[in-house]
Amino acid sequence: MMPRRFSAKVALWAAVGAACCGLVPSASAIVYDRNAAVAYANQYWNKVVSDGYFWINGSTANYYGAGQPVPVNAPGEASGIGDDCAHFVSSVIGAPGGGLTIPSRAGTYGEPGAARLDELLVGNSAGGYGTTYKYGQLVTSVSQLTPGDVIGYDWTGSGGGSMSGIDHTVFYLGNNNIAAHSTSHDSVPWNWANSGSTITFFIHMTVANSIVPTAPSNVSPAANAFVSSLTPKLTASAFSDGAIGSTQVAAQWQIFNGSTLVYDTGTDTTNLLELTVPAGKMTFGNTYTWKVRYEDNYSGWSSYSAPTSLSTIAALAGDYNHDGAVDAADYAIWRADPASNGAADGYNAWGANFGTTGSGTALLSAETSTAIPEPATLLHIILLAGIVPTTRRRAA
């Protein structure tokens, strides 16, 4: 925990490598390994961090060696000396831990001032860094945090709601627990020492996580399937992501006819694992391929699933229930409403294609003209359809 008006008189003379000192983020995409940050916090919560230094007060950092136990006061004094909170959080989220570029000041790795560190993370120019290192944003409650985020505290409320009043900062582990220097804490409640006057600042890191979701698999329809509907349901595998605290927030579905994209949902926050193809996107007698990808709550996208194909069965004349076969069930539908099913032409089309299955190519038209089946055959079909009324025998 560093005073806001920090004056660096650092007892520190071993050079920290150039990779640790004040590099600005590169122009390439910035990513953050939350898993690695959490692991680092759990490893070093009671140890001196990787550069080997520990801030014992607001103006002095001493070298103890990486991984050594955190220093304690002389016998009889309270243990857990130090103002190492921002130095610890810098290392956890920075190059030793989560991989972010954190500017270094006063000789040790990272930013030693709690207020300045938290301000730089949200791009608050009052911290002296402008928006160069804006990795996150302020949110209003701990419920909006995920593992890898940061919390700042103004214990006395002296800042009046300004981040300049922050005098302690910690690393959020998830499940409402934090890790911190100093004193050293691991897996304690985030509000363990809050008082009635404490003002808390919740910083959610919004840069993409370096671990992205696993590419999904197409589940149904099965590869190379024939479907009789022009609005089939596409189903993909469950969401999977190795990043700690990850959840699925969106999917993107694409359907192609050959190389032509016929439908793209864009970022779809509703149809996460399955999609019913909207009407008007498919036609009978064509083959389509489809694929999908998933997005997690860290803005990471998976690769697309391996495309699979499906074919729409060409409309069979007389197939009034669109199941890919012309049979007695279709006659029942025609008989219930001849006018809506082609009247005489519809009956002729049904009779001509009775017994046809698969991807037939005959199309119903007003010019269809086929002889009606023989009476015996028709009677047999009608019996199969279950539509002949029964008669009652009179009692003898």
| Residue 226, pLDDT score | 87
Rounded distance, CA 173 to CA 179, Å?
Answer: 7
Q: How many CB atoms lie within 10 A of CB 295?
A: 22
181 has a pLDDT exceeding 70: yes
Please check the confidence at residue 7 and state whether its pLDDT lies above 70.
no
59-68, 149-158, 318-327, 346-355: least confident range: 318-327
pLDDT band of 366, cuts 50, 70, 90: very low
Q: Quick one: pLDDT at residue 48?
A: 96
375-385 vs 328-336: helix axis angle to the nearest 10? 90
Is the per-residue pLDDT at 340 higher than 80? yes
Quick: pLDDT tens for 199-252.
999 999 999 999 999 999 999 999 999 887 899 999 999 999 999 999 999 999
100-136 residue pLDDT tens? 999 998 889 999 999 999 999 999 988 889 999 999 9
Strand-strand pairing, 260-264 and 248-257: antiparallel
- In this predicted structure, the answer to whether residue 13 has a pLDDT above a threshold of 50 is no
CB-based contacts of 147: which residues, under 8 Å, 6+ apart?
Answer: 34, 37, 38, 172, 173, 174, 244, 245
Is 70 exceeded by the pLDDT of residue 74?
A: no
Q: Which residue has the higher pLDDT, 330 or 151?
A: 151
* Tens of pLDDT, residues 246-292: 999 999 999 999 999 999 999 999 999 999 999 999 998 899 999 99
The residue written with tokens 């864009």 in the block is 266
| Nearest CA-CA partner of 358 in 288, 306, 284 | 284
- pLDDT at position 185: 83
Query: How high does pLDDT run on average in the chain?
Result: 84
Show the domains of the chain with their CATH numbers.
Answer: 18-209 (3.90.1720.10), 218-312 (2.60.40.10), 328-385 (no CATH)
Under the banding of pLDDT at 50, 70 and 90, the label for residue 384 is: low
Q: Which residues of 15-50 are buried (b: 16+ CB within 10 A; e: fewer)?
A: ebeeebbeeebeeeebbbbbbbbbebbebbbebbbb
